[in-house]
Structure 1
Amino acid sequence: MNDNILCKFFSFILTISILLERSNNLKSWVKLKLNKQNFELEPIASDAGFRRYFRIRLQNNKTLVAMDASSPREDCRPFLKVADMMAEAGLRVPEVIFSDLKNGFLILTDLGKNTYLDIINENNADALFKKAIFALIKWQCATENNALPLYSEHLLRKELNLFKDWYLNKHLNLKIDQKSSVMLRELDEILIKNAKQQAQVFVHRDFMPRNIMADDNCPGIIDFQDAVIGPVTYDLVSLFRDAFLSWNEKKIDNWIQFYWESAKAKNIPVDGSFSNFKKQFNLMGVHRHLKILGIFARICYRDKKTKYLEDTPRFFNYLNTICDYYSELLPLNEFLYKIKDRENAMKR
Structure 2
Amino acid sequence: MNPPASAPAFLVSAGWGGAEIRPLAGDASFRRYFRVVEHDRTAILMDSPPDKGEDPRPFISIARWLTQRGFAAPEILHEDLDQGLVLLQDFGDARMRETVDAAPESELRLYEEAVDLLVRLRDHPAAADIGPYSPSQYHREAKLLPDWYCGALGLHVDAQGYNDAWNAALAPVLTGHTPVTVLRDYHAENIMLIEGSESLGLLDFQDALAGHPAYDLVSLLQDARRDVPPELETAMLDRYKRRTGVGDEFDIAYHVLGAQRNAKIIGIFTRLWRRDGKPRYAGLCPRVWGYLERDLKHPALKPVADWFGANVPQDMRGDPMTIAGE
Alignment of 1:142-161 (within 5 A): 142-144=124-126, 146-161=128-143
Q: Measured at CA, do residues 39 and 140 of structure 1 come closer, stay the same or move farther in structure 2, by a change above 3 Å?
A: same
Cα distance in 2, alignment partners of residues 333 and 185 from structure 1: 12
Cα distance in 1, alignment partners of residues 67 and 252 from structure 2: 32
Larger helix proportion of the pair: 1
Tell me the equivalent position of 2:113. Answer: 131
Tell me the equivalent position of 1:80. Answer: 60
Cα distance in 2, alignment partners of residues 48 and 192 from structure 1: 27
| SS of residue in 1 equivalent to 2:133 | coil
1:192 is aligned to 2:153 = no
Q: Is the 8 A contact 1:205 1:226 kept in 2?
A: yes
315-324 or 224-233, which deviates more: 315-324
Tell me the equivalent position of 1:213. Answer: 192
> Which of residues 286, 290, 294 is equivalent to 1:313?
286
> Which of residues 238, 242, 250 is equivalent to 2:231?
250
What displacement does 1:196 show?
Answer: 0.4
Q: Which amino acid aligns with 2:325?
A: K
Q: Is the 8 A contact 2:170 2:256 kept in 1?
A: no
Cα distance in 1, alignment partners of residues 168 and 84 from structure 2: 39
> Which of residues 306, 312, 317 is equivalent to 1:340?
317
| Bigger relative CO (Cα 8 Å, ≥ 6 apart) | 2
Tell me the equivalent position of 1:10. Answer: none
1:283 is aligned to 2:242 = no
Tell me the equivalent position of 1:5. Answer: none
Q: Is the 8 A contact 2:316 2:323 kept in 1?
A: no
Q: Is the 8 A contact 2:65 2:127 kept in 1?
A: no
Q: Measured at CA, do residues 277 and 35 of structure 1 come closer, stay the same or move farther in structure 2, by a change above 3 Å?
A: closer
Q: Name the TM-score, length of structure 2 as normaliser.
A: 0.89
Aligned residue-pair number: 315
Q: Measured at CA, do residues 188 and 92 of structure 1 come closer, stay the same or move farther in structure 2, by a change above 3 Å?
A: same
Alignment of 1:1-348 (within 5 A): 20=2, 23-34=4-15, 36=17, 38-59=18-39, 61-71=40-50, 72-121=52-101, 122-144=104-126, 146-169=128-151, 171-176=152-157, 180-197=158-175, 199=177, 200-215=179-194, 217-264=198-245, 270=246, 272-273=247-248, 276-326=249-299, 328=302, 329-334=304-309, 335-336=311-312, 337=314, 339-340=316-317, 343=320, 345-347=323-325
Q: Measured at CA, do residues 125 and 290 of structure 1 come closer, stay the same or move farther in structure 2, by a change above 3 Å?
A: same
Q: Percent identity?
A: 26
Cα distance in 2, alignment partners of residues 324 and 139 from structure 1: 29
| SS of residue in 2 equivalent to 1:42 | strand
Q: Is the 8 A contact 1:99 1:105 kept in 2?
A: yes
Cα distance in 1, alignment partners of residues 305 and 205 from structure 2: 34
RMSD of aligned Cα (Å): 2.2
| SS of residue in 2 equivalent to 1:55 | strand
What displacement does 1:65 show?
Answer: 0.6
Q: Which amino acid aligns with 2:243?
A: S
Q: Which amino acid aligns with 2:306?
A: P
Cα distance in 1, alignment partners of residues 87 and 274 from structure 2: 31
Q: Measured at CA, do residues 214 and 35 of structure 1 come closer, stay the same or move farther in structure 2, by a change above 3 Å?
A: closer
| SS of residue in 1 equivalent to 2:105 | coil
Structure 1: runs of 5+ lacking an equivalent: 1-18, 265-269
